[in-house]
Structure 1
């Protein structure tokens, strides 16, 4: 029986540039009948794929269940930027949780990018991997923030970043908009959907099994061995890993209030001439500014400008994505005002109230990871490794994150959206007036 329509419609990828330029469109089979595996991973985004790939490399019998297609959610729609760090800054983590926790986080914030580069090299994943990313500042207040960030990160032994002056930044971005910035030589960018597809291929090469179009309708975590049920089958496993993130829905009620879906938007221009692309981004780095609601952009392999930004709390899609993003793109690059937009799309990430991702257990053999709050490309790969360590017996790093307290959204699910909108107004006011 074919699964009924659900959050993913018919399961097809969104009409994004990434889906149009994907390396492969192979459809994996739907889960049918009752099956058994050592480990069942729910969700074929980066968290689930990273966890499964680490486990298959150790010879474990692993199944991944995806309700739509591999990388259907944020992992196949995001800005494609390898940005080191969490949404919550090291300053915030140090102030809120203490220096020991901040030291631990500082020790792993570079790990996700390293894992991605290792995966690309080991499995020859064709995902247009490129080096470096640039944080840009609009105001002197933003520059002071970057200076403080640089000093703090260097205090924790991270030496990959350097400040860029207003004069120097033109070597990286052909725009008059910025007061300066900070370059991270350990950052980079990728075609995100092709990375996910390459990791899925690697899992299968290592003996793992992937089921697509297999929406989970029920999870029994109270049994001695967890059972995951879809409309056409079930998996009984020794260990269950829940990596549905913003798209897990209400299948596991214990996780629903922990995060809020938030949509962000991306658009892709028509291919630019070599000369124009070189003027806009001379070093082909990826860029994001440091405002509360930020813009991010980069060049694709075929010289399109991929420009993203904006947020909609609660996860709704804007009526006109191009209209929402166009004015910001034109402000940064006025010479693109007449440039055609070929693709525009939206997708959800999972926001935690603390902006710190969450990892834990619902019982002794059911694990979860979610809430990367817009910084999931690197964080999800690190969390996948840490989950695999815990499942195979090393809980030292897992325990640190499991013991970080999660904070519920004020007002619960009913008021979390208006509360977050009011907060964004406040921080947007500060950004606008350089406070």
Structure 2
């Protein structure tokens, strides 16, 4: 199942509060460059910026607008590590692979912060996020999580119970929580727009409204749009859930998934701080998790749920508002000003997929819900491998990239059955 394109950004709080950014032109005619990047989300813009900093000429092709997809619609949480933690990676793929990925698990966070500082990007960056346990089993899992991350040298975690938890989240829903003082949250659309401007300041070129219609392998690679071509020595495929038949070798190994977000009317500072006194971003520990945070104008931004295949519910507010009220029943009188959906790409093992096709077409995709940080790491690793430093890129590229059981026809219903099973375990606390 492919994801369709709308003519502009989703009608989200992010789009309504985005920093000014002029539309870029569509590609017309033929251009040449060292590297052509397909997709102007976090992966593509991160890779392009790292490559431009190394002196390469870069052209970015975007089907709609910079940050149009998941990069401009997500929950805005800086969550370290991956959608599978290092103990799972070690059990499945060995200690050497776990160590290699573990050494990079917190790097995406650092890259984001370095980019914000270096290029003075205004994106509401705030420190701190929190993992909330809904039952005792999940709390024990957080204790193990803390010990595991400390094994990899990360000591920014604090376990909370009782009154200490209530000082961070004013909800009766949770048994305990783990605070990551080194995590954070931000305005993701403004982050990617700021990095796109930084790329252009270094000579990079971005063409919007230029969906790719074909890719001819060779030396150079020829990337075709409706009205133009890019001839490039190397190509980076960074379309993630929005690739549409351009590189079929990698499109069958993952599945688009939709998630939904609502944003309340402004609550006022006093009422907002009564919910989250210290402004931490929160996600719970359920298989299909809820996530939320305060915005700069004191709204509650609340997301949750997964639609396998990427389809949208008919009424997003009707789906997400009950989740919000389960967490914060004190918001029953609050209006919802924005409701939107976003599509991310999930892999079977929930780990990102990196690789190279025909020696000069690179790809990174399938962050499975941990895209904000891992996309920024991916961009750096792509720049490294193109400059002959491939060990870290290869640590990801060596992971199995298996298709979902049942193929394109059955992957959605089979995934939904699996999700129902894990949801039931969450409700029963087992």
Q: Deviations over 1:96-153 (max 9, x none)?
A: 1011111111111110111111000000000000001000001000001111111111
- Matching residue of 1:147: 143
Q: Give 4+ residue runs of structure 1 displaced > 4 Å after superposition.
A: 6-10
The answer for the alignment partner of 1:333 in structure 2 is 328
Instruction: Give 1:186 shift.
Output: 1.1
5+ long unaligned stretches in structure 1: 1-5
Q: Does 1:314 align with 2:309?
A: yes
Q: How many residues align?
A: 429
Q: Which of 397, 400, 403 is 1:405 aligned to? A: 400
1:160 and 1:250 mapped to 2: Cα distance?
A: 43
Question: For the Cα contact (< 8 Å) 1:11–1:67, is it kept in 2?
Answer: no
Question: Structure 1 CA distance, aligned partners of 2:206 and 2:51?
Answer: 14
Q: Contact between 2:345 and 2:365, CA under 8 Å: does it hold in 1?
A: yes
1:7 to partner: Cα distance: 5.5
- The answer to whether residue 95 in structure 2 is matched with residue 93 in structure 1 is no
1:58 matched residue in structure 2? 54
Equivalents in 1 of 2:72, 2:213: separation in Å? 23
Shift of 1:259: 1.0
SS at match of 2:20: coil
**Aligned counterpart, 1:379:** 374
Q: Among residues 234, 251, 256, which one is paired with 2:251 in the alignment?
A: 256
TM superposition shift of 1:10: 5.0
* CA distance, structure 1, for counterparts of residue 382 and residue 287 of structure 2: 30
Q: CA deviation at 1:9?
A: 4.4
- In the alignment, is residue 303 of structure 1 matched against residue 307 of structure 2? no
Provide the C-alpha distance between the structure 2 equivalents of 1:393 and 1:209, rounded to a whole number of angstroms.
24
Classify the secondary structure of the residue corresponding to 1:173: coil
Once residues 398 and 87 of structure 1 are traced to their aligned partners in structure 2, the CA distance between those partners, rounded to angstroms, is 18
When the two chains are superposed, the root-mean-square deviation of aligned CA atoms in Å is: 1.0
Q: Alpha-carbon deviation of 1:34?
A: 1.0
Q: Indicate if the aligned counterparts of 1:138 and 1:179 stay in contact, CA closer than 8 A.
A: yes
The residue number in structure 1 matching 2:27 is 31
CA offsets 1:56-93 (integer angstroms, 9 cap, x no match): 11111001100000000000000000000111121211
The residue that corresponds to 2:234 in the other structure is 239
Distance 1:233 1:77 in 2: 29
Question: Does the alignment pair 1:228 with 2:223?
Answer: yes
1:341-420 → structure 2 map (5 Å cutoff): 341-420=336-415
Q: For residues 7 and 284 of structure 1, do their structure 2 counterparts lie closer, same or farther at Cα, with a shift above 3 Å needed?
A: same
| Match 1:204 to one of 197, 200, 203 | 200
Indicate the residue corresponding to 1:187 in structure 2. Answer: 183
1:249 deviates by: 1.8
2:153 alignment counterpart: 157
- Give how far 1:166 is off: 2.7
Per-residue displacement from partner, 1:334-390 (whole Å, max 9, x unpaired)? 111110000000010000000000100012111000000011000000011000101
Which of 116, 128, 133 aligns to 2:129? It is 133
Q: Secondary structure at the match of 2:210?
A: coil
Q: After TM superposition, give the deviation of residue 167 of structure 1 in Å.
A: 2.3
Q: Which runs of 5+ in 2 are unaligned?
A: none
